[in-house]
Structure 1
Amino acid sequence: MLKLALTGVWVCAVTLGSVYFSIQHASAPVISEAEADRRAAEEYVPGEIITVPIIRDGAVQGYFLAKLSFSAMREGIAKLHAPLRQVVTDELYDLLVGSKLIDVADMGTFDLPSFKNAVKDGLNGKLGSEVITEVLVEQLEYLTKDDVERVANSQNRPYQKPVAIVDRNGKVASDKIPEGAVKATSGH
């Protein structure tokens, strides 16, 4: 019994010693002072979901959905004449519709880092200085026109009142079960 108690004390001492040693010698990631100052001067700006119609041959082929957020310099945001979210949304429409930045017909050529850099450069060009420091992609989706119609049609179905298959006494009302439905049987 004494051996078991001493073994338990020894295991506890070794565990506590290893935890103490680990904490003493663990180091936080080293961030330079310049990097810390840059991060303190930035602000996270959440984006809005924008829907951009993809028009080809004079007709809407589908919709591109994007939600982008940004890391921006606080000083640059303070100097803007309009709220940053609205300026960003406007510029995203210009970039995605006007310059055909994304070719949905050939998604194999889509390069996410190039897309993020093009958005960042376009926004900073519109803002007149280096306000946007990073583009964060939260959502990028493409829905075809058929996808949108399919979703719209499934939500507009007329409401159908449920049919009671079991009456109040718990008996199956076989005359109320629609044709083609599988009749459940009790396994009791």
Structure 2
Amino acid sequence: MIRLMFVGLWVCAVTLISSYSVAQWSSSLPAEEPQSAYFEGLEYRKVRAINVPVVTDNEVKGYVVAQFVYTADARTLRELSIPPESLVVDRAFRLIYDDTDRQFDGVNKKNLDKLTTEIKTSVNGVFGAEIVKDVLIEELNYIDKRDILK
């Protein structure tokens, strides 16, 4: 019986001494340097293609097929509660549909810088900060109504 008590005391003593030794040893190690923040940079995100009808004189003349890419800070995108994709698509659709200065029928030059700048400014205005850094045009095509029916 006494032998069993000595074995129990010996196990307790070894456990306490080893725990104390490990604690002392780990506290004497040099502290780890905090890892520098990973530079994430800009992230490019492609939005879905949109089909915008071109209406002139209460008649659909054709469709503009457009797809945009926007750039934003990767960390900021993860922290947003509302993804900017839907806002970019909405604003692009409204600008192409509503603006009478942009006539897509026929061959004429478009002010694409103005279009992308207006999309960026509008989306950033909703967030109240410069979330979207740039808007790029991935695809911009005009399809005449007569070409669709062929």
TM score, norm. by length of structure 2:
0.63
C-alpha separation between the residues in 1 aligned to 2:76 and 2:100? 28
Structure showing greater radius of gyration is 2
User: Which is strand-richer, 1 or 2?
Assistant: 2
Residues 63-98 of structure 1, C-alpha deviations (whole Å, 9 max, x = no match): 001111111123442453333222221222222223
Deviation at 1:113, TM superposition (A): 2.4
C-alpha separation between the residues in 2 aligned to 1:100 and 1:74? 35
* Structure 1 counterpart of 2:46: 46
Deviation at 1:141, TM superposition (A): 0.2
C-alpha separation between the residues in 2 aligned to 1:91 and 1:81? 19
* Structure 2 counterpart of 1:120: 120
C-alpha separation between the residues in 1 aligned to 2:103 and 2:128? 27
C-alpha separation between the residues in 2 aligned to 1:61 and 1:79? 42
Supply the AA of the counterpart residue of 1:60.
Answer: V
Written as runs of structure 1 = structure 2, the 5 A alignment for 1:54-133 is: 54-100=54-100, 102-105=102-105, 107-133=107-133
Supply the AA of the counterpart residue of 2:117.
Answer: N
| Cα distance, 1:144–1:90 mapped onto 2, change above 3 Å | same
In the alignment, is the contact (CA less than 8 A) between 2:84 and 2:123 conserved in 1? no
C-alpha separation between the residues in 2 aligned to 1:96 and 1:120? 14
| Cα distance, 1:128–1:96 mapped onto 2, change above 3 Å | farther
Deviation at 1:51, TM superposition (A): 0.5
Q: CA RMSD in A?
A: 2.5
User: What is the SS of the residue equivalent to 2:115?
Assistant: helix
Deviation at 1:104, TM superposition (A): 1.6
Which structure has more relative contact order (CA 8 Å, sep 6+)? It is: 2
Q: What residue ranges of structure 2 are gaps of 5+ in the alignment?
A: 1-36
TM score, norm. by length of structure 1:
0.52
User: What is the SS of the residue equivalent to 1:60?
Assistant: strand
Mean CA deviation greater in 109-118 or 65-74: 109-118
| Cα distance, 1:100–1:76 mapped onto 2, change above 3 Å | farther
Deviation at 1:50, TM superposition (A): 0.7
Percentage identity across aligned positions? 26
Supply the AA of the counterpart residue of 1:69.
Answer: V
